[in-house]
Chain A
């Protein structure tokens, strides 16, 4: 067998991907020797014996039937959304985090997609749901769901992230020992399918003085946001499908507004009204909760983009590395509301040295993008970091750089570089560097 040379690309065990692949092949080749060697004495070689003995029970009985709507394996029941704790008085305002560290690839299963509901999830009868477009339009229009289903649709893979994702790392003075799900669980990726809003706006005829659109949901709280018209004409859609099926109640059934790359809160679920105006309404969430308080006390409003961000999901907080001094593939996710991910760098020594991670296809604009980096852990303390750069040239700031721009209690749109500390016993813990 050809001996492979393992080439280091940065400090503390970060390795060249090609050498990792080669040694991986060598490893699998040597592993396969075992069963082959053992096959010298064939099962059932004696005519009076059946082959039954050596097979597991599920290979000796017919399997059960499929179901009308499939569920994950019962053995994966630990992979669940996690409800952020809240007081009973405010339990209608619920925040469910996706188990991002269990996800591989860039698509979050629809049933695990994060969901934040300010006033619960409404039970909408689709046959009574109407989408209204009015205000500064030539022809105010209403659409029922059946009509909208007949329009040409587009499909795109995009991330959706709550403005408050990873807020605790922005404001907590000490790093909380939390999992990636707890810290980063308000990000998900899906294929969203629906009608480009520009088609419906063209049908209604936008007046020249129009600049903003107030989008409103049909939930108990009539959630509403003011959105610049230009963005909606650019790439926003009325989403009717998520990952190939009609969007679920927690994502806005029968329809939601989808505004690629912009904060989750303005992707209005249960969308029923679009009022075209010449001014923003300064709704509740754009008056306080989703604003940024800057270092000088100014309140920054209408910061819509979700900035370039990344995290290592494998390994991540509250996990335990099983193999001391083993080979690991570091894997993670990067995304930017400004476009495609161009570069992800990884460090295993707390930022002293960095190496360029492999970015996996597909690399799509405003989408989760998977990166990976081979790593040989030598069994001592390590700090893993990832730093993403997007095609607009935006680079993830350090936590200190981010906090220097914001008031100490400002928690929205946090995108600081995430650090995971690995102890000599293999415990992975959130930390600040």
Chain B
């Protein structure tokens, strides 16, 4: 029913045509070989032999996708308009976030937002229990995350845990500002928006290496 080898057939055709052309002269043969090389490369890149598929994808229009393009990139792509302050964020944090992340963003049980990563203080009498019960508290947003844009991205798509996507853009900027402030990365006077968020230099960035 389907011809699995239609691409192969096309390649053979190309070879035949090129060889015929090559008969004319040595120069043409060389040119033909070069052409064949280029043609083969193109085929490999774009036309890898594969099964025919029904190609049932429908056009996705800009209006279909605009409300779903929520991924914020480190260069600021997709950051929305809006702004928020540390003070606004603190109020929101205490009502929306503190019950899981702790009043200071370090107590858990949910992921640690502030402070250095690593073990809890050896003077903490509950250290072993805390580690065993809440391993995610070993790492902190403030010390590990390389870009502040990720804080905005994740709060907006996934937080608060019981009601994800319920916060508006101003609220997300305010909460991002407060978490940055908990890490001494934003002073109380600065308003966070799509421009100032790109100025934040996260400590996790300088520590980053990319795996092989």
Q: Are A409 and B75 in touch, CB under 8 angstroms?
A: no
Binds A, one of B17-25, B57-65, B174-182: B57-65
B179-196 interface code vs A (CB 8 A; 1 in, 0 out): 000000000000000000
A223 to B110, CA, bound (A): 17
A140 to B164, CA, bound (A): 27
Q: Are B204 and A287 in touch, CB under 8 angstroms?
A: yes
Known: A139-B57, A304-B211. A199 touches B158 (CB 8 A): no
A284 to B139, CA, bound (A): 12
A297 to B207, CA, bound (A): 7
Smallest distance from the beta carbon of A89 to chain B beta carbons, Å? Answer: 5
Binds A, one of B8-16, B32-40, B45-53, B81-89: B45-53
Binds B, one of A273-281, A317-325, A393-401: A273-281
Q: Are A301 and B75 in touch, CB under 8 angstroms?
A: no
Q: Are A198 and B50 in touch, CB under 8 angstroms?
A: yes
Smallest distance from the beta carbon of A87 to chain B beta carbons, Å? Answer: 4
Identify which of A132, A167, A223, A407 contacts B65 (C-beta below 8 A). Answer: A132
Smallest distance from the beta carbon of A155 to chain B beta carbons, Å? Answer: 14
**Interface: B138 (CB within 8 A):** yes
Which residues on B sit within 8 Å (CB–CB) of A345? none
A132 to B70, CA, bound (A): 13
A22-43 interface code vs B (CB 8 A; 1 in, 0 out): 0000000000000000000000
A84 to B53, CA, bound (A): 43
Known: A134-B60, A141-B59, A220-B164. A407 touches B118 (CB 8 A): yes
Q: Are A139 and B59 in touch, CB under 8 angstroms?
A: yes
A408 to B135, CA, bound (A): 13
**Interface: A221 (CB within 8 A):** yes
**Interface: B27 (CB within 8 A):** no
Smallest distance from the beta carbon of A390 to chain B beta carbons, Å? Answer: 16
Q: Are B208 and A284 in touch, CB under 8 angstroms?
A: no
**Interface: B115 (CB within 8 A):** no
Which residues on A sit within 8 Å (CB–CB) of B208? 298-299, 301
**Interface: B73 (CB within 8 A):** yes
**Interface: B119 (CB within 8 A):** yes
Binds B, one of A97-105, A144-152, A308-316, A378-386: A144-152
A87 to B141, CA, bound (A): 20
Q: Are A140 and B59 in touch, CB under 8 angstroms?
A: yes
Q: Are B145 and A92 in touch, CB under 8 angstroms?
A: no
Binds B, one of A51-59, A60-68, A288-296: A288-296
A198 to B140, CA, bound (A): 37
Query: Chain B: which residue is nearest A150 at the CB level?
Result: B54
Q: Are B209 and A199 in touch, CB under 8 angstroms?
A: no
A222 to B135, CA, bound (A): 23
Q: Are B119 and A409 in touch, CB under 8 angstroms?
A: yes
Query: Chain A: which residue is nearest B164 at the CB level?
Result: A220
Identify which of B59, B64, B73, B165 contacts A279 (C-beta below 8 A). Answer: B73
Query: Chain B: which residue is nearest A291 at the CB level?
Result: B144
Segment 92-123 of A: residues with Cβ below 8 Å from B = 92-93, 118-119
Contacts A132-B65, A287-B145, A294-B209 known; list 8 others, CB within 8 Å.
A140-B65, A216-B71, A279-B75, A283-B150, A288-B111, A293-B139, A300-B211, A411-B135
Give the top 10 A-B pairs by smallest Cβ distance, nearest first.
A141-B57, A303-B211, A221-B158, A87-B109, A147-B56, A140-B60, A288-B144, A287-B145, A222-B157, A284-B154
